[in-house]
Structure 1
Amino acid sequence: MEEGTGSTGPSKASANTADGVPASTEVLVIGAGPGGYVAAIRAAQLGLEVTLVEKDAYGGTCLNDGCIPSKALIHGADVAHEATTAEHLGISAEISIDVDRLTDWKDSVVDQLTGGVESLCRAAGVTLVDGHAAFVDDHRARISTDDGEATLSFEYAIVATGSRPIEIPGFEPDGEYLLDSSDALELSTRPDELVVIGAGYIGMELSTAFAKLGTDVTAVEMFDDVLPMYDDDISRVVREQAVEYGVEFRFGERAADWEPADDGVLVTTEDEDGATAQLAADAALVVAGREPATDTANLEALGIELDEDGFVPTDAQGRTVRDHVFAIGDIAGEPMLAHKASYEGEIAAAAIAGQPAALDHEVMPAAVFTDPEVATAGLTRDEAADAGYDPVVGRMPLQANGRALTVEATDGFVRVVADAATERVLGAQIVAPNASELIGEIALALEVSADLSTLAGTVHTHPTLSEAIMEAAADARDEAIHTR
């Protein structure tokens, strides 16, 4: 095989010095997160020879340091909070919280799932390599493992290197005074006071969880409300509930500086007028968002350049400018969601196998696991109008939902957006307990181009939160029974 980008296929004669690395493979997958491992399994199911290279842990950030462990922590915090705040129901309890044991349980959940990922890959016939992969040219990658280095030739490649936390200059996490989200999920003791820098989805999930565990939380946010990517009425519900749990907010301020102080930190914030304030805490949790990890696989060797937002440009099947190289997941653009990465992985695998497949990001649900949860799919009213529709909107407040009353969760709503002319459902926004589960009905409605009459006319179990979807659809048709 030639050395340059004019090479046409994998070589069968690569000399390897690292054990477990094959000389060649049909499909090289770099990264075993929710995009990479799904792509590898699907490609193997489709009869392709697949090698999956992962430098850290199978399951990626989502399974090891994000989605799963954070939801486990949130569950533990919910149990603790409910046990101590039910006196009005005639239930009183005194509890103790062993954060170390909670962390051990969380780790056991993660271990079970990561082991499952490895088992699924092996059962599908995927070759697993623990190491770091970087491209050498069009059809070769250098694999670095604990045993040494090897050259792996490939016919196709799927890059799924994920994302990492954005670092604020001067606030680089050190695991002691300054924490990132991974550090926060590994704490063995509960901090008495915590400054959270950022009130986006990660900041709000963890702020609420720690507040429920008894930590005094102060959240610092440059914007004027929490979850700045959502409509004001959604942000308001989440913020007001967080305040009830004891979270204090400082909006319109940025973290300007910090210093160690009294076995903790002293964080200096600054507003737009230059006024400063100092916040003392045991530690500061820095959650300013995430950025694509596009610099780990040496994409430059393939001539792949990033777009103006720092993502890898791809087509409707995940192909990059090099037809045999695909990019999926967080490096391929917003939204940075695990289920989006998995979906893109299946599409890329199908495309490599020669099957018809294409991405459709219009039906991509998203959820924030705050209290209450937030979930969305499709278009908002404004987005529908910008797209040329004449939108009609139906809304069902949870105050009128029987199930919401029985679980004491009436601060929320379901909003359904449809096209006035055809009544085709265009999207929905849900603020409610288990919104992440409820949004599946909307995603299906969007996928099959259902109209309002289908949602409103489908009998929903009573009493359930899902009835609010039915009522919101009926409200959009001026036919709601339980709201006006």
Structure 2
Amino acid sequence: MRTRRDLRSVSNKRVWAVGDIADPEGVGPRAFTHVAGQHAGILVRSMLFRLPAKVDYAALPRVTYTDPELAQIGMTEAEAREAGHTDLRIQRWSLAENDRAIAEGRPEGVVKLVVTPKGRLLGASILAPRAGEMAGTYGLMIGRKLPLSALAGLVLPYPTLAEGGKRAAGEFYTPKLLSPAVKRLVGLLRHLPQA
């Protein structure tokens, strides 16, 4: 059912729709249990408490529960370009360089961040064991419009798979922090075997 962002029907403001039938963006419903929960919260705020509340899918996490899992939060690179973001920074971090993934014998996977040149996170893609468990951090960042520096500076427990995103975010700032000579040295050191 075509709905407005407050989940009222476009054709009759006295009718509300939530869950799989609601379509506030006109692109088809978002058939996820967590979306229905989000809709229920909006409906309660709007109907019972008369507070303004609207659907915002900018930070919607989508997870495919395969092995490894695939999680997408916010925009994909293609969606960001379609939305007019022509100058993007794509940050990737392979889980082959993640100590937890290596220790568990599951180093396959990658974290990919879609970032504006000024450091605003537009989207994140994660291919990793338990990728859905990592999605919340990116949803919070996108939904609250936190700068990428918040992720780069986040203190995470070690070792965790979530460090992959932090490392990808940190790579965004590398060109600003290192001279060309130091960058070459760091690049060479990254290829040395770890003890």
Task: Give the TM-score category using the shorter length.
Answer: 0.7 to 0.9
One-letter amino acid matched to 1:331: I
Q: Distance in 2 between matches of 1:380 and 1:391?
A: 11
Question: How many pairs were matched up?
Answer: 172
Kindly report which structure 2 residues correspond to 1:309-388, keeping only aligned pairs within 5 A, or say none.
312-320=1-9, 321-332=11-22, 333-353=28-48, 354-388=50-84
Shift of 1:351: 1.4
- Contact persistence 1:416–1:476 (CA under 8 A): no
Q: 1:407 deviation in Å?
A: 1.1
2 CA distance for matches of 1:381 and 1:412? 18
Q: Distance in 2 between matches of 1:383 and 1:475?
A: 23
Give me the CA root mean square deviation: 1.9
Distance 2:82 2:169 in 1: 21
Alignment of 1:4-83 (within 5 A): none
Counterpart Cα distance in 2 of 1:408 and 1:331: 42
Partner Cα separation in structure 1 for residue 174 and residue 114 of structure 2: 13
Contact (CA 8 Å) 2:120, 2:146: kept in 1 or not? yes
- C-alpha separation in 2, matches of 1:402 and 1:334: 39
Find 2:119's aligned residue among 401, 420, 423.
423
Once the two structures are TM-superposed, the CA of residue 458 in structure 1 deviates from its matched residue by: 1.3
Greater relative CO (CA pairs within 8 A, separation 6+):
2
Q: 1:446 deviation in Å?
A: 0.6
Task: After superposition, give the CA deviation of every residue in 1:291-310 in whole Å (9 maximum; x if it has no partner).
Answer: xxxxxxxxxxxxxxxxxxxx
CA distance in 2, matches of 1:350, 1:459: 34
Shift of 1:454: 1.4
Task: Indicate if the aligned counterparts of 1:367 and 1:374 stay in contact, CA closer than 8 A.
Answer: yes
Match in the other structure for 1:89: none
In the TM superposition, what is the alpha-carbon distance from 1:477 to its structure 2 partner? 2.9
Structure 1 residue ranges without an equivalent (≥5): 1-311
1:412 paired with 2:112, answer no
CA distance in 1, matches of 2:111, 2:57: 22
**2:58–2:143 CA contact under 8 A, matched in 1:** no
- The gaps in structure 2 that reach 5 residues or longer are 23-27, 176-182
1:478, distance to aligned residue in structure 2 (A): 3.2
Larger strand percent: 1
Matching of residue 398 in structure 1 with residue 87 in structure 2 = no
Tell me the CA shift for residue 432 of structure 1.
0.7
- Which residue is equivalent to 2:134? 438
Write the distance in 2 (CA, Å) between the matches of 1:438 and 1:413. Answer: 12
Higher helix share: 2
Q: Deviations over 1:382-408 (max 9, x none)?
A: 221221222101100010000001111
Partner letter of residue 368 of structure 1? Answer: T
